[in-house]
Chain A
Amino acid sequence: MYTTDSLGRIKQAFAYPLILDKIKRAKNASATPGKEAGDHAGHLFADIFGGSPKLDNLVSQASSTNLSDMKRLENKWAGLLGRRPPADIVVHVEVLYGSGDRPTGFIIREVIDKIPTIPPHIFRQ
């Protein structure tokens, strides 16, 4: 589930609950708003979690944010969802903006097996 702000920018995304989705996805949209040289069209929720390949789930992300830093969280979630029984994971992504369309960061709040992670994870770019 996604919400946008008054400028039509993706503001929040939710996964209640997060699930593993091994279905092969269509090619991702790549023309994300505010994209700069070196940016990727990064998923708010990766396709392995059922994230959409369309612009409702994609924002401009620095390649280091997309490929390295957020990967740590995604790997942890995938591991917890792959165990038996799988963990119960709820994720809320808040997208931060300055004056433009390119996100300046992401706040990721997670609740794993009913326990929230406090403080939240913050990614800046």
Chain B
Amino acid sequence: MRGTPVTSFQTEFEAFVPKALQAAFDIVGHDDAVETIWVVAHRVNTYIMAGPVYRVSGSVAAPLDLPEVLPTVDIADQIDTITQIGLDASDLMMIDPRHGPTRIVVRYDVAQQTMNADFAYEPLRMGPDDTLKEVFDGWVQRLRKTGNDSAAD
């Protein structure tokens, strides 16, 4: 992890992952149709957007898409949990805002119970008028179209 105080980041990351994945799984009520959970965090300087993304019965779903694929999920009830994932991710990403990761992707395969993490350190590709919403949405669109869930642009 280039330039990042490794011990602190690793310790905090290891605490972040199970908490974030548990929260993400709670949001969908541990539904059997959930195949994969990603927790994706983006950062530009001190600006962070982070939240869960899911594959449910073969379909990729960002939080707002969840009611389409899991009608029992009321996303309005889950705003605080989603926000807390973002706040925890922001704590992690602010450990070293100069040299730390600009994107973190945590992937959890529900059936296999396996976790992988990927980190990017290059500046995020953003248009001059883009906010991190466009970056987050772009990552989800790329996953949907290509299956590419890497942290790299």
Footprint of B on A, CB under 8 Å?
62, 64-65, 68-70, 72-73, 75-76, 79, 96, 105, 107, 109, 115-125
Contact = CB atoms under 8 A, between A and B. Distances in A.
Contacts, number: 71
17 contacts: A62-B46, A64-B46, A68-B45, A69-B45, A72-B131, A107-B83, A107-B86, A118-B75, A118-B79, A119-B86, A120-B49, A120-B86, A121-B49, A121-B132, A122-B87, A123-B48, A124-B97
B77 interface: no
Contacts of A64: 45-46
Contacts of B87: 96, 105, 107, 122
A124 B131 contact: no
Nearest to B75: A118
A96 to B, nearest CB: 8
Interface size class of B (residues with CB under 8 A): 20 to 34
Nearest to A119: B51
A121 B51 contact: no
Closest 9 CB pairs of A and B: A119-B51, A69-B47, A118-B63, A122-B48, A119-B86, A122-B90, A124-B94, A124-B46, A72-B131
Contact of A121 (B62, B85, B131): B131
Given A105-B87, A107-B83, A118-B62, 5 more contacts: A68-B45, A107-B87, A121-B132, A122-B48, A122-B50
B64 interface: yes
Interface string B53-66: 00000000011100
B21 to A, nearest CB: 15
Contacts of B63: 118-119
Contact of A79 (B83, B129, B136): B129
B64 A122 contact: no
